[in-house]
Amino acid sequence: VTHNKSFTLGELAKLLDLELVGDEQCKIYGLGTLAGASPGHLSFLSNPAYIDQLSSTSASAVILTENFVETCPGNSLISASPYVSFAHASALFVTNEAPAAGVHSSAVVDPSCKIDDSVAIGPNAVLEAGVSIGAGSYVGAGCFVGAGSNIGSNCRLYQNVTIYHGINLADNVIIHAGSVIGADGFGFAFDGEKSVKIHQLGGVSIGRDVEIGAATTIDRGAIEDTIIEQGVKIDNQVQIGHNCKIGMHSVICGCTAIAGSVTIGKYCIMGGASGAVGHITIADKVQVSAMSLVSQSILESGTYSSGTGHMKTSEWKRTIVRFSQLDSIAKRLKELEKANDKT
């Protein structure tokens, strides 16, 4: 893609704090993958598996580690961490404009709200009594922020986000469209005939630098708060139950379902569509693979999985019949071993 911003390679080297091998005056208009880039694009090589694509790329410049400079047909920007440098570069080519400060005339803002002058409030947004919003933040069209909630500085709520009452967001929090923060946790006491609602009196506390995807839900706590610590990144369609605590810098991939009162450590990665049952603890630096269910606490860092690999359905049907016979298979094997020992 070619964007309507451009930089010389000299400027980029300075902005990204990288060493340039090549033409300082070369103009860069956008970013591209090694395979898809055109002249005027900046690309990157992070995974050595793509080295074949390096020699044939049309990119005008590539961010790479020093050892690949020779292979690069164009200009090189040398980085110890090309992928991280590329992430920084991506920020330079953002073109969708930040909304202008000010409250849109159609927004409904309670007079008791404390909103910094630099804040942008989009059309039809609704802010209830006592809401505070810090400098540089943006509340998109159709968002709702409930009574007494606090939103830090430089936050960005995309469209149609719902923040219930009494929720706290620190600075630099991004929430994508349609997400819901602070709906009631799923708590009921069964009285023998029906479910009696346990009113959810806690809140949600979201740390700085957290990003939350689209259509994700994070429930308020029953008594104490649900806590998302700083730096956590949460993808789309994730459900986080009441009274969970997600440790700092953990990453929760899309469609993950985390039941109530789960404590996840720091620097964990929950793979896509994974899950965790309620009232368990997951240690720091645990990685859970896609669609795996954590069915009891994990006390040691490491990589964990559940489930089975996929196979042709015809084969799979035979296999799951055998799966259901596993206990019998194991017992019969034991019998044979005993018999064999005697012979």
- Other Cβ atoms closer than 10 A to 74: 21
Rounded to whole angstroms, the Cα distance separating 82 from 319 reads 44
* C-alpha closest to that of 40 among 11, 6, 13: 6
Token pair 């799951």 is at which residue? Answer: 320
CB nearer to a second copy: give 24 or 196: 196
Query: β-pairing, 275-276 with 293-294?
Result: parallel
If one asks whether residue 17 binds a second copy (CB under 8 A), the answer comes out as no
The only residue of 4, 67, 91, 100 in contact with a second copy, by rule CB under 8 A? 91
98: CB partners within 8 A, 6+ apart: 120, 138
Rounded to whole angstroms, the Cα distance separating 216 from 239 reads 6
What residues are labeled active site?
242
Q: What is 221-284 written as a DSSP string?
A: PSSS-EEE-TT-EE-TT-EE-TT-EE-TT-EE-TT-EE-TT-EE-TT-EEPTT-EE-TT-EE-T
Helix (H), strand (E) at residue 14: helix 9-16
If one asks whether residue 223 binds a second copy (CB under 8 A), the answer comes out as yes
Q: Are 72 and 64 in contact (CB under 8 A)?
A: yes
The only residue of 4, 25, 111, 190 in contact with a second copy, by rule CB under 8 A? 190
Contacts with a second copy, 103-122, as mask; x by CB under 8 A: -x-x-x-------------x
CB nearer to a second copy: give 70 or 309: 309
The only residue of 101, 126, 135, 283 in contact with a second copy, by rule CB under 8 A? 126
The only residue of 135, 233, 284, 285 in contact with a second copy, by rule CB under 8 A? 233
User: Site size for a second copy, by CB under 8 A?
Assistant: 140
The only residue of 150, 160, 168, 226 in contact with a second copy, by rule CB under 8 A? 160
If one asks whether residue 6 binds a second copy (CB under 8 A), the answer comes out as no
If one asks whether residue 273 binds a second copy (CB under 8 A), the answer comes out as yes
Phi, psi of 182 (to 5 degrees): 100, 15
Q: Are 54 and 37 in contact (CB under 8 A)?
A: no
Q: Please, how many CA atoms are within 13 Å of residue 35, restricted to the half-sphere of its CB?
A: 4
Q: 23-42: which residues touch a second copy (CB under 8 A)?
A: 30-33, 36
Minimum distance from CB of 23 to a second copy (Å)? 23
CB nearer to a second copy: give 135 or 290: 290
Rounded to whole angstroms, the Cα distance separating 106 from 139 reads 13
The only residue of 24, 52, 116, 188 in contact with a second copy, by rule CB under 8 A? 188
Phi, psi of 240 (to 5 degrees): -120, 115
Amino acid (one-letter) located at 106 = S
If one asks whether residue 81 binds a second copy (CB under 8 A), the answer comes out as yes
Angle made by CA atoms 123, 129, 132, in degrees to the nearest 5: 75
CA 84 to chain CA centroid, nearest Å: 16
If one asks whether residue 265 binds a second copy (CB under 8 A), the answer comes out as no
If one asks whether residue 283 binds a second copy (CB under 8 A), the answer comes out as no
If one asks whether residue 97 binds a second copy (CB under 8 A), the answer comes out as yes
If one asks whether residue 51 binds a second copy (CB under 8 A), the answer comes out as no
Contact range with a second copy by CB under 8 A, out of 9-17, 18-26, 59-67, 326-334:
326-334
Contact range with a second copy by CB under 8 A, out of 18-26, 59-67, 69-77, 316-324:
316-324
Three-state DSSP state, 334: helix
Q: Please, how many CA atoms are within 13 Å of residue 335, restricted to the half-sphere of its CB?
A: 6
If one asks whether residue 137 binds a second copy (CB under 8 A), the answer comes out as no
If one asks whether residue 4 binds a second copy (CB under 8 A), the answer comes out as no
If one asks whether residue 86 binds a second copy (CB under 8 A), the answer comes out as yes
The only residue of 249, 281, 283, 285 in contact with a second copy, by rule CB under 8 A? 249
Encoding tokens for residue 202?
């806690």
If one asks whether residue 50 binds a second copy (CB under 8 A), the answer comes out as no
Contact range with a second copy by CB under 8 A, out of 52-60, 70-78, 111-119, 301-309:
301-309
